Amino acid sequence: MKIFLNGEPVDPGGARTVDELIRRHRLPPATTLVEWNGTALHRRDWPSQPLQESDRIEILQVAAGG
């Protein structure tokens, strides 16, 4: 299966849900924002959102600045 992660085609490496994808990349959930196929995806929905062929996932990391 191939998905698009931040605009690049990738193999999700066995991840079957958005939550598994985030964990695979070792991203801290508290500072991670996910857009799934153009829609913001709430963190509580990550475990129940399956990854499917050609999904477009955008991952953003929130950082404090000064």
Can you give the residue range of the structural domain that contains 31? Answer: 3-61
CATH (domain of 13): 3.10.20.30
Cα–Cα dist 37/58, whole Å: 8
- Please give the model's pTM, rounded to 2 decimal places: 0.89
Q: Considering the domain boundaries, does residue 24 fall inside one? A: yes
The encoded tokens of residue 27 equal 């991203």
**Neighbour count for residue 2 (Cβ, 10 Å):** 11
**Tens-place pLDDT, residues 6-30:** 999 999 999 999 999 999 999 999 9
Instruction: Give the confidence band of 65 by pLDDT, cuts at 50, 70, 90.
Output: confident
DSSP state of 25: T
Q: Considering the domain boundaries, does residue 34 fall inside one? A: yes
Q: Considering the domain boundaries, does residue 21 fall inside one? A: yes
Q: Considering the domain boundaries, does residue 31 fall inside one? A: yes
pLDDT reported for residue 63: 85
DSSP state of 66: -
Count how many domains the chain has: 1
- Looking at every residue in the chain, the average pLDDT score rounds to 95
Say yes or no to pLDDT of 59 above 90.
yes
Say yes or no to pLDDT of 38 above 70.
yes
